[in-house]
Every structure is written in structure tokens, then in C-alpha cells.
């Protein structure tokens, strides 16, 4: 039996993968290919290549598939046995075609535990999950282990929270088990709000039952009978599949009262968050579930003692809960053998930015940034130079090329000024302005601040104003020192992790790219030619042939000139959109983007 796995994660769905599946099923039926079936799956991970079709048992990988390619796949490959080579993955540098999924470095260099079933099972069919040992760990825990044994197994595994803080999961469960209360709660934090992050969303779309199973086991371990999955309302596909999975689990008796005749009761409520980044903080998240404004509260008391509705509560991330089942099935020793001494297991990242192979990846803790970016990610797009990688979302830091050999784990990332975070990893090339990057992340955190405490509410606004001035050529010689002073005050005085970590992108860009700040402030120029107020566009009269393309495409009529004659940009009207540079034919290259600082120096 041949199976065609068609990715229907959010990215592929947006590129018409449901239409691709319909077309495949229709043509296969018309051709009477009864030994072939088509299976919808969640995200395969390789988003750069979507829509994706994988054909088993051959292991053939087809990427960037369109609806118009379906007929050729059926006719050439399925009927005549000739693979469609033009749809194979091509290596970024050599252009070499790789037909098999297992030979593509993006996949072969990963170690998948959380993502093991992503792209291989139908997330809307519980039978598919059961066929790959789904719910066996739950059965083992409920039938063969007492709660304390489950907690000890998780402790021995060394699992640390994958939501960003890295607190030992088993210890967190122990605190909640030891707390006194007639009702205990478990919350799955799926409020994924980091720019460039899509790990939790993809897992929930591809294998929601792994999260449900992990929650049942966790509830059994520390005595919770009710659970909440707090997921962003902006994740409609994840929500749809979660609802289906919860209903299926209830029908099978895996949720509800007396699960598997164990005497353990546990049920789930799906709660849709309104998209506030601060609700990723556990106390703000609980306030949101309670119907209050999502604002953090001081601790102690900690959630394990007084959490949701004042009851003992544990909050775990999607990835943390997804790891519980394999730990219980395979044992703590197996999991602890992966990773580093203090950071066990694997980490899941959303690898994005100026990278050849972007997507969802999973690697052992301790894998270096270089191996992730070049070994799995295929290096920088268009052969450009690597400049920085930002990890940990708005709370993380920007690391330069000198730190590419840093092992990715909790301790080593913290040592160089960044964090593991929940798993966002954004790669930047030589054309990136690091001052503008810091401004972008401060703009995000300032807007997402709940406003409860002054250091975060006022401090991030002041830092943003300073960074904006610098990118607009209005920076002062004292600005760098002032940014450092404000950063220290905000980190020290803020109530929650949003404020405490908000200065990290600024601190690391100053630490590693101080010369760019100085160029903006002292020389009035942006070395990367990004900041609009510090650049101009000029047309070289000797190269311009008057093709009129820039004239016709300028949105504000800032270009003058006759056909076949040299053109001129009127800078008073120019909005610096770059359209003139984009449309100018390469064989002429008459339009230049120049630094105002350099121009001013030349004039002097």
C-alpha cells in the first residue's frame, strides 16, 4: 500500500494544500489506483518547501507543489513509476536535487521526539495516534504506577519547562501535589505570541493527542481533575483540531470520569485567549481565564499554592506536555541520555528569517547555533553573510557570528546574554540594521506591556523613543549610556518577565554591535542602509538610459525625466520606498541607495 502524506498545517493550507489533496484523490480514483491512499497530516516542519507531499514507502519528498502539479505526479510517478524530479528539494548552494526525505539535511540532522508524529499521522483521527502507541503511556501511568512514581520519573528525566524559564517540570508537579486543596488545576500554556514563533501552533495542529495524553498523566501525578488549554484565538486551525481531539478522547474514555477504571477523573476545557502577549505570563494567563484583565500579580503566593480561582495550579507549555508520554514509555534514563548535563532532551525551534531552509526543527540540547543555521538551515539566503541570530523572542538577545559555536541550552545561551525562550530563532543577514532590530522588539514589548508597573510601562516607552530618535538621525552622544541605565532599571523594577526581559535585545545589540549605534549617532549614517531618515536614493545620469520604469512605478511621482534621457529623483517628494531601485534593470543598475552620512562627508 502506497500512502501520499499531504501537509495541511497552516502554512501549506494557505498555499492550497486542501485543493491539492482533493485533486489527488479525484485523479487516483479515476485511475483506479486502489492500492494508493491519500492522508492529510499536520505540519511536516519544512515550511520553506510547502506545500509538501511525501510518498511512502519510497520516502520521496515533493516540495513547493501546486495544484497544477498533481496530474503529473499521478501520471508520471504513481502510474508510470517515473519520479517528478523538478519537485525534488534542491540544496541551496550546489543546487543538487535530493529525492528522499531522509537524505535532506533539514530532516536528517534533527532528532525528533516532540515532532516525531508531525507530518505522519492524521491529527483529526484518534486511531492514527493510537497506531503509533498513542495513549499507551497514559495506560502505563494509570495502571502500573502510583502518582509519586510518575513524578519521580519526570524528575529523573531532567525535563525542564519548554516555555522559556526552564524550571524543572517534575519539581513543579511535586510542589502542586504537596499543596493542600480540594481542587487542583492543570493549564497548558499555548499562548504563543513571539514574533516569528509557530512551534506550539504546529504541534497542536499536527498531534493534539500528544498534548492531551501528557495532560492526563500530569493531572494524575499531582491530583488535578480539571485542565485548561489556553490557546490563542488567532490559531483557528489548531483550535479546530484540538476540539476534534478532545471530543474523540472523551468518546474513547480517555477524558472524563474514572479513566480506564483507574479512579482518576480528568477533563479539559479549551479556552481561547484574546492575543495579549503578556498572557503568556502564567499569573496573567490565569487572570484571563478567570474573566479578569490579563495582568501579572506579585509572587508569592505561587500558582502551585494559590493559582487558578485560588486553587493549587500547575502551568506547563505545549512542548513540555508533549514530552511526558515518551518519557513514561521509554523511561527517564533514555530521555536524560539526550542533551547536556544540565539541559536534557531536545529543543524545538521555529527557524525563520534570512535562512535558506526555514521551518520547524527539533535538535538535542547542546547543538550549536552553527549546526542549526548552516547544517539544518542551509545557510543564509542568496549567499549573503550571516550577521546575527535572535533567539527567545522579544525577551531574547541578538548574537553575532563570533557566537555561532555556542551550544544551545539554558546555561550557555544565558551566558552570552540571550535565552532559550519558548523556541523562536530569527536569522539575520548583512543587510540588517541592528539598531532598527532593537527598536522593532522594543516597539513590540512596549505595545504589549499591560501597564501595571511603572518601570515597564514608562521605561520601555522612553527606551523606544530614544531608539526611534537614533534611527532617525536625532541620536545624542549620551543615548547609549542612557539606554544601558534604563535597561538596568526596567530589569530590576518590573513585576513580570515581560518587563524584566524587554531590554535584552537592546543590551545584546549594544554589547555586540555598538559600532552601529555610534555610526547612527556620531556619523548620521546607517551602515546597513535600512533606516529611512539616514538614506537617499540617487540615479546615476551616466548609467540611466531613460527606460522610464522608475518613472512609471514611483508611487509619489518623485521622479522626473524624458524617455531615453537621464532621470532625477526629487528628494523632497521621495518616501524612500525603494521601488526605483527594485524596478531598475540589472544590466543598467542606474539607481543607488546611499547613506546620508557618507553623502554629507563627501560634500564637506
Angle between helices 169-178 and 147-157 (to 10 degrees): 150
DSSP assignment of 85-97 equals GGGSEE-TTT--E
Q: How far is CA 136 from CA 254, 255, 260, 489, in A?
A: 11, 14, 11, 50
Q: List, for residues 306-330, the tens digit of each pLDDT value.
A: 999 999 999 999 999 999 999 999 9
- Chain centroid to Cα 383, Å, comes to 24
Query: Contact, 472 vs 439, CB < 8 A?
Result: no
Grid-cell match 564637506, residue found? 604
Predicted local distance difference test score (pLDDT) of residue 93: 84
- Look at residue 599 and tell me whether its pLDDT is greater than 80: no
- Look at residue 598 and tell me whether its pLDDT is greater than 60: no
Choose among 406, 421, 435: nearest CA to 521.
Answer: 435
Q: What's the rounded mean pLDDT across residues 220-238?
A: 96
Q: List, for residues 535-591, the tens digit of each pLDDT value.
A: 999 999 999 999 999 999 999 999 999 999 999 999 999 999 999 999 999 899 999
Q: What's the rounded mean pLDDT across residues 71-90?
A: 97
Taking the C-alpha atoms of residue 139 and residue 172, their distance in angstroms, rounded to an integer, is 23
Per-residue H/E/C for 302-341: CCCCCCHHHCCEEEEEHHHHHCHHHHHHHCHHHHHCCECC
Per-residue H/E/C for 222-237: HCCCEEEEEEECCCHH
- Look at residue 209 and tell me whether its pLDDT is greater than 70: yes
- Chain centroid to Cα 398, Å, comes to 16
The x, y and z cell numbers of residue 440, run together, are: 522593532
The confidence band for 358, taking pLDDT boundaries of 50, 70 and 90, is very high
The confidence band for 604, taking pLDDT boundaries of 50, 70 and 90, is very low
Pairing of strands 226-232, 267-273: parallel
The x, y and z cell numbers of residue 254, run together, are: 480517555
Q: What's the rounded mean pLDDT across residues 13-24?
A: 97
Q: Which residues contact 105 (CB under 8 A, 6 or more apart)?
A: 91, 357, 375, 376, 378
Predicted local distance difference test score (pLDDT) of residue 164: 75
Taking the C-alpha atoms of residue 488 and residue 494, their distance in angstroms, rounded to an integer, is 10
For 384, how many CA atoms within 13 A lie in the half-sphere containing its CB? Answer: 17
Beta strand residue intervals within 127-225, DSSP E: 185-190
Query: Contact, 229 vs 242, CB < 8 A?
Result: yes
Choose among 416, 374, 371, 366: nearest CA to 391.
Answer: 416
pTM metric for this prediction? 0.93
Q: What's the rounded mean pLDDT across residues 230-243?
A: 96
Predicted local distance difference test score (pLDDT) of residue 1: 87
Q: List, for residues 362-414, the tens digit of each pLDDT value.
A: 999 999 999 999 999 999 999 999 999 999 888 889 999 999 999 999 999 99
Q: How many Cβ atoms from other residues are within 10 Å of residue 29's Cβ?
A: 12
The confidence band for 603, taking pLDDT boundaries of 50, 70 and 90, is very low
Q: Is the dihedral of CA 466, 436, 487, 401 positive or negative?
A: negative
Query: Contact, 187 vs 313, CB < 8 A?
Result: yes
- Look at residue 602 and tell me whether its pLDDT is greater than 70: no
Predicted local distance difference test score (pLDDT) of residue 597: 67
Q: How many Cβ atoms from other residues are within 10 Å of residue 542's Cβ?
A: 7
Q: List, for residues 162-208, the tens digit of each pLDDT value.
A: 977 789 999 999 999 999 999 999 999 999 988 888 999 999 999 99
Q: What's the rounded mean pLDDT across residues 286-303?
A: 94
Q: In what order do the strands lie in the sheet with 346-353?
A: 359-364, 346-353, 424-429, 386-391, 397-400
Query: Contact, 54 vs 61, CB < 8 A?
Result: yes
Q: What's the rounded mean pLDDT across residues 117-144?
A: 97
More confident site: 161 or 604: 161
Per-residue H/E/C for 333-388: HHHHCCECCCCECEEEEEEEECECCCEEEEEECCCEHHHHHHHHCCCEHHHCCEEE
The x, y and z cell numbers of residue 209, run together, are: 493527542
Amino acid at each position: 500500500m502506497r500512502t501520499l502524506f499531504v501537509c495541511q498545517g497552516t502554512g501549506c493550507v494557505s498555499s492550497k494544500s486542501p485543493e491539492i489533496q482533493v485533486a489527488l484523490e479525484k485523479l487516483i480514483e479515476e485511475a483506479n489506483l486502489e492500492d494508493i491512499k491519500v492522508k492529510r497530516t499536520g505540519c511536516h516542519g519544512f515550511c520553506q518547501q510547502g506545500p509538501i507531499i511525501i510518498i511512502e514507502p519510497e520516502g520521496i519528498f515533493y516540495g513547493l507543489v501546486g495544484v497544477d502539479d498533481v496530474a503529473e505526479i499521478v501520471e508520471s510517478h504513481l502510474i508510470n513509476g517515473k519520479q517528478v524530479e523538478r519537485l525534488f528539494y534542491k540544496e541551496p548552494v550546489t543546487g543538487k536535487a535530493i529525492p528522499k526525505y531522509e537524505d535532506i539535511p533539514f530532516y536528517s540532522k534533527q532528532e525528533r521526539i516532540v515532532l516525531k508524529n508531525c507530518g505522519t499521522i492524521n491529527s483529526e483521527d484518534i486511531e492514527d495516534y493510537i497506531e503509533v502507541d498513542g495513549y499507551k503511556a497514559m495506560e502505563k501511568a494509570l495502571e502500573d504506577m502510583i502518582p509519586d512514581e510518575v513524578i519521580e520519573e519526570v524528575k529523573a528525566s531532567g525535563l525542564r519547562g519548554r516555555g522559556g524559564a526552564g524550571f524543572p517540570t517534575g519539581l513543579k508537579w511535586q510542589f502542586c501535589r504537596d499543596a493542600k486543596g480540594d481542587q487542583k488545576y492543570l493549564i497548558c500554556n499555548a499562548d504563543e505570541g513571539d514574533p516569528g514563533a509557530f512551534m506550539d501552533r504546529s504541534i497542536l495542529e499536527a498531534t493534539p493527542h500528544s498534548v492531551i495524553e501528557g495532560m492526563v498523566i500530569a493531572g494524575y501525578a499531582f491530583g488535578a481533575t480539571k485542565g485548561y488549554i489556553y490557546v490563542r484565538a488567532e490559531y483557528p486551525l489548531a483550535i479546530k483540531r484540538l476540539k476534534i481531539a478532545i471530543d474523540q478522547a472523551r468518546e474513547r474514555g480517555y477524558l472524563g470520569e474514572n479513566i480506564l477504571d483507574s479512579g482518576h477523573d480528568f477533563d479539559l476545557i479549551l479556552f481561547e485567549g484574546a492575543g495579549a502577549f503578556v498572557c503568556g505570563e502564567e499569573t496573567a494567563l490565569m487572570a484571563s481565564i478567570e474573566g479578569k484583565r490579563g495582568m501579572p500579580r506579585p509572587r508569592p503566593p505561587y500558582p502551585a499554592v494559590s493559582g487558578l480561582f485560588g486553587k493549587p495550579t500547575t502551568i506547563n507549555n505545549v512542548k513540555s506536555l508533549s514530552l511526558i508520554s515518551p518519557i513514561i514509555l521509554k523511561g527517564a534514563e533514555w530521555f536524560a541520555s539526550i542533551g547536556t548535563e544540565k539541559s536534557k532532551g531536545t529543543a524545538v525551534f521555529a527557524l525563520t528569517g534570512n535562512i535558506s531552509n526555514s521551518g520547524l526543527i527539533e535538535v538535542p540540547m547542546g547543538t550549536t547555533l552553527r549546526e542549526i543555521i548552516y547544517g539544518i538551515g542551509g545557510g543564509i539566503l542568496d549567499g549573503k553573510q550571516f550577521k546575527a541570530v535572535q533567539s527567545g523572542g522579544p525577551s531574547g538577545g541578538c548574537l553575532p557570528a563570533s557566537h555561532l559555536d555556542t551550544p544551545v541550552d539554558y546555561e550557555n545561551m544565558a551566558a552570552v546574554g540571550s535565552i532559550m525562550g519558548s523556541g523562536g530563532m530569527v536569522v539575520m543577514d548583512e543587510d540588517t540594521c541592528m539598531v532598527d532590530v532593537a527598536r522593532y522588539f522594543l516597539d513590540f514589548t512596549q505595545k504589549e506591556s499591560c501597564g501595571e508597573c511603572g518601570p515597564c510601562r514608562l521605561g520601555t516607552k522612553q527606551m523606544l523613543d530614544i531608539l526611534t530618535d537614533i534611527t532617525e538621525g536625532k541620536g545624542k552622544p549620551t543615548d547609549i549610556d542612557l539606554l544601558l541605565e534604563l535597561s538596568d532599571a526596567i530589569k530590576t523594577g518590573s513585576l513580570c518577565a515581560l518587563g524584566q526581559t524587554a531590554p535584552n535585545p537592546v543590551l545584546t545589540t549594544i554589547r555586540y554591535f555598538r559600532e552601529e549605534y555610534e555610526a547612527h549617532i556620531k556619523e548620521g549614517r546607517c551602515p546597513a542602509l535600512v533606516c529611512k531618515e539616514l538614506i537617499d536614493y540617487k540615479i546615476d545620469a551616466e548609467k540611466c538610459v531613460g527606460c522610464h520604469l522608475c518613472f512609471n512605478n514611483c508611487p509619489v511621482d518623485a521622479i522626473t525625466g524624458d524617455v531615453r534621457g537621464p532621470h532625477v529623483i526629487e528628494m523632497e517628494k521621495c518616501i524612500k520606498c525603494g521601488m526605483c531601485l527594485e524596478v531598475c534593470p540589472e544590466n543598467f543598475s542606474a539607481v543607488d541607495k546611499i547613506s546620508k552620512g557618507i553623502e554629507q562627508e563627501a560634500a564637506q
